[in-house]
Structure 1
Amino acid sequence: MDSLTQIVLGAAVGEAVLGRKAGNKAQLYGAIAGTIPDLDVIARYFTDTITATEIHRGFSHSVLFAVIASPVLGWIVNRMEHKLNLGWRSWAWLFFWGIFTHPLLDAFTTWGTQIFYPFDYRVAFNSIFVIDPLYTLPFLICTIWAMFLKRDTLSRKRMNLTGIVLSSSYLLLSVLLKSMALGQFEAALKEQNIAYNEISTRPAALNTILWNANVDTQDAYLIADYSFFDSKPISFKSYPKNRKREPNFTNPQSQQNLQRLIYISQGWYLMEEKEGNWYFYDLRFGLMPVANGKEQFVFSYLLKEENGVLTAQETEKAPRDAGLLLETLWERVKGN
């Protein structure tokens, strides 16, 4: 999830663990704990795009990291806050839950998380978008409200718990809505006599009303969307795989880097040659509208061989496309 959401979750968890003893400092350190796993993004400044993408939501998002980091951080904060006389174990417990709940939440997104690292398995329930105001805003209001209540009062505890319950309930609701949307896609495929190998569904940006689907067929990927307010049948758009036309890099390292990209995309990918350049599209995050009524895949990479080795550069998104995305998204959420 986005940084603000993780800060709010961490602050609420910190409050639940030590709020009565440490007051707002529990929220402060909980918020810090909630942001720590995402420090893995600094890898993009020190390594190539493929490696940085592999690192993201890896070790720092695992149970192992929470177990290792929490005692160290607990000891440091206990030295800093020695006047509270809470002991390092209390602070370590706060940091463990602040760090661990971060990947738990991320597991519900499309990117998922390697919560069981070093085991090479990424957990992704695909039920909530990385930014969802209905999850974050009520949670934020309750957490801030709790800050202004006396730390040893029942009202503060209840307010903090209300935020946790509301956000968790919405998270569980997203799983139910995903199941309902999946049923609609499967029914449409059956009605249209479309044979397929696999289907993957996820919510569109900022909501859980509009859902996207990728469908794996023998020769193509089908992409469709469905809003719970729709009145027309679901329509699938076909994107041929054209696997035989994909580039065959002679350099073993280049071929290996391409396979790494394919692995990152979990096999949901397309490649296209445009103006002499090859582009790699990760289909898991769907399409977004751009100027002139066109669409492009949210995550696309320009492939180049530099010094004989394949590199990937994520294509930039124009700021004006964000406004177009919101406008198009709102119209589509309302139904077809």
Structure 2
Amino acid sequence: MDTLTQAALGAAVGGAVLGRRLGRKAVVVGALLGTLPDLDVFIDYGDAVANYTQHRGFTHSLFVLTGLGTLLALIATRFAPARDIGFRHWGAFFVLCLVTHPLLDALTTYGTQLWWPMEGSPSAWPVVFIIDPVYTLPLLAGLGVGLVTGNGQRGPAWGLALSSAYLLFAMGAKTLVEYRLEPVLAKQGLQGTPHLVQPTPFNTLLWRVTIIEEAQHHEALMSVFDGNRVPVFETFERGAELEPTALALDRGERLDWFAGPFLRYEVRELEGKATLVATDLRLGFPGFHPFSFTLADREGNEWRPAVPTELLNSDARADLSALGLLASRIFSPEPPLCTSDFVADRWVVDIPASC
């Protein structure tokens, strides 16, 4: 999630745990702890792919943060003695302010390495967009009450309760969409294929469905208000013929570990060279995928690994007005909102007549 939300979450947790004893101090320290895991953005891991895939790594590990929280609790118990705050309360304060950050991150699409240094792909159970005002505003309101009144517990606790209730609603909305999607996939013979259901920007009412089927991927939008209406699927190329070449490269293999099959491959002419580029299809929206990386340059008939760089998306065919179209799609499936309207023609394979 964004930095403001993580700071607000840490402050709310801190206030809920020790606000009665520490007052405003619990809120301020909680906010600082809530942003601490994201300091890894200042670490340069060597190249664009490494920075992309190692963000939310060791600094988001539940093992590392629990250990750090325990250490801070020991220090506070020793050097900031308080008659009614023992090690148990300090431990709950520091550990919860820290670990709630990666736990919230894991509820977004990007992926969080909760179990580092254990092997395995990042954890991601996307139920909220990376920025969601409906989640953040109750936290901020509760903090405002706590800072103004000096009661560091009541306001933050109420804000935390409301934001947590919103997460439960988001989980229910996703479950409903997946329940409606399952028979559609079965009817089209797509059950068992890799697929991703995630919220569209800034809301949990309209959901984006991405299905990977070998050389192609299918996109659809499903609203919680669609009822039994069959979703409109659009089909796009994903350059799967280039996938073996990418996977033979160290950085291509790393991207595959991070994003799984949700990658698109293409050859672009960059600085007079044919360059292999991989794009993460999970993040953003069709036509607005922000993360594309160079992997190799073609020299004659061979591909030579290149130092990965991040590219700006050059295929977008729409502007922020698309957000308004998404908002209108939440409440009405007619007229249909077609993602192919935003995607470069060269990727489009099949679109329904309604588009």
Q: Which residue of 1 aligns with 2:233?
A: 236
8 Å contact kept, 2:135–2:163? yes
Q: Quote the offset at 1:165 in angstroms.
A: 1.1
User: Partners in 1 of 2:105 and 2:258 — Cα distance?
Assistant: 16
**2:211 counterpart SS class:** strand
- Post-superposition Cα deviations, 1:273-309, rounded to whole Å, max 9, x if no partner, equal 2333322111222524xxxxxx243322233459x53
Aligned counterpart for 2:171 among listed residues 170, 175, 178: 175
Q: State yes or no: 1:110 paired with 2:109.
A: yes
Q: Which residue of 1 aligns with 2:145?
A: 145
Q: Return the TM-score normalized by structure 1.
A: 0.83
Q: Which residue of 1 aligns with 2:213?
A: 217
Q: State yes or no: 1:297 paired with 2:289.
A: yes
8 Å contact kept, 1:301–1:314? yes
User: Identity percentage over the alignment?
Assistant: 33
User: Partners in 2 of 1:10 and 1:273 — Cα distance?
Assistant: 43
Q: Quote the offset at 1:81 in angstroms.
A: 6.1
Aligned counterpart for 1:162 among listed residues 158, 177, 180: 158
User: Partners in 1 of 2:19 and 2:79 — Cα distance?
Assistant: 17
**2:117 counterpart SS class:** coil
Q: How does 1:174-323 map to 2 (within 5 A)?
A: 174-192=170-188, 194=190, 197-230=193-226, 233-246=230-243, 248=245, 255-275=249-269, 276-288=274-286, 295-305=287-297, 309-316=305-312, 323=320
User: Partners in 2 of 1:5 and 1:301 — Cα distance?
Assistant: 28
5+ long unaligned stretches in structure 2: 299-303, 334-355
User: Partners in 1 of 2:243 and 2:29 — Cα distance?
Assistant: 49
Q: Which residue of 2 aligns with 1:66?
A: 65
5+ long unaligned stretches in structure 1: 289-294
Q: Which residue of 1 aligns with 2:321?
A: 324
Q: Quote the offset at 1:46 in angstroms.
A: 5.3
Q: Which residue of 1 aligns with 2:31?
A: 31
8 Å contact kept, 2:185–2:191? yes
User: Partners in 2 of 1:130 and 1:17 — Cα distance?
Assistant: 26
- Compared with structure 1, are the counterparts of its residues 193 and 75 closer, same or farther at alpha carbon in structure 2 (3 Å cutoff)? closer
8 Å contact kept, 2:276–2:297? no
Q: Which residue of 1 aligns with 2:345?
A: none
- Post-superposition Cα deviations, 1:142-161, rounded to whole Å, max 9, x if no partner, equal 1211222243xxxx643322
**2:149 counterpart SS class:** coil
**1:311 counterpart SS class:** coil
Letter in 1 for 2:57: G
8 Å contact kept, 1:62–1:117? yes
Letter in 2 for 1:6: Q
- Compared with structure 1, are the counterparts of its residues 320 and 86 closer, same or farther at alpha carbon in structure 2 (3 Å cutoff)? farther
Q: Quote the offset at 1:84 in angstroms.
A: 9.3
- Post-superposition Cα deviations, 1:63-122, rounded to whole Å, max 9, x if no partner, equal 211123224444666798679995777545422111011111111111232212211232
**2:124 counterpart SS class:** coil
8 Å contact kept, 1:214–1:222? yes
- Compared with structure 1, are the counterparts of its residues 79 and 144 closer, same or farther at alpha carbon in structure 2 (3 Å cutoff)? farther
**2:309 counterpart SS class:** strand
Moved more, 24-33 or 220-229: 220-229
**1:271 counterpart SS class:** strand
- Compared with structure 1, are the counterparts of its residues 246 and 199 closer, same or farther at alpha carbon in structure 2 (3 Å cutoff)? closer
Q: CA RMSD in A?
A: 3.2
Q: Which residue of 2 aligns with 1:292?
A: none
Structure with more of its chain in helix, by fraction? 1
8 Å contact kept, 2:291–2:312? no
Q: Which residue of 1 aligns with 2:14?
A: 14
User: Partners in 2 of 1:299 and 1:331 — Cα distance?
Assistant: 27
Q: How many residues align?
A: 322
Moved more, 206-215 or 64-73: 64-73
**1:285 counterpart SS class:** coil
8 Å contact kept, 2:132–2:202? yes
8 Å contact kept, 1:115–1:123? yes
Q: Which residue of 2 aligns with 1:95?
A: 94
User: Partners in 1 of 2:207 and 2:14 — Cα distance?
Assistant: 33
Moved more, 8-17 or 314-323: 314-323
User: Partners in 1 of 2:262 and 2:161 — Cα distance?
Assistant: 35
8 Å contact kept, 1:271–1:281? yes
Q: Which residue of 1 aligns with 2:54?
A: 55
Q: Which residue of 1 aligns with 2:126?
A: 126
- Compared with structure 1, are the counterparts of its residues 186 and 113 closer, same or farther at alpha carbon in structure 2 (3 Å cutoff)? same
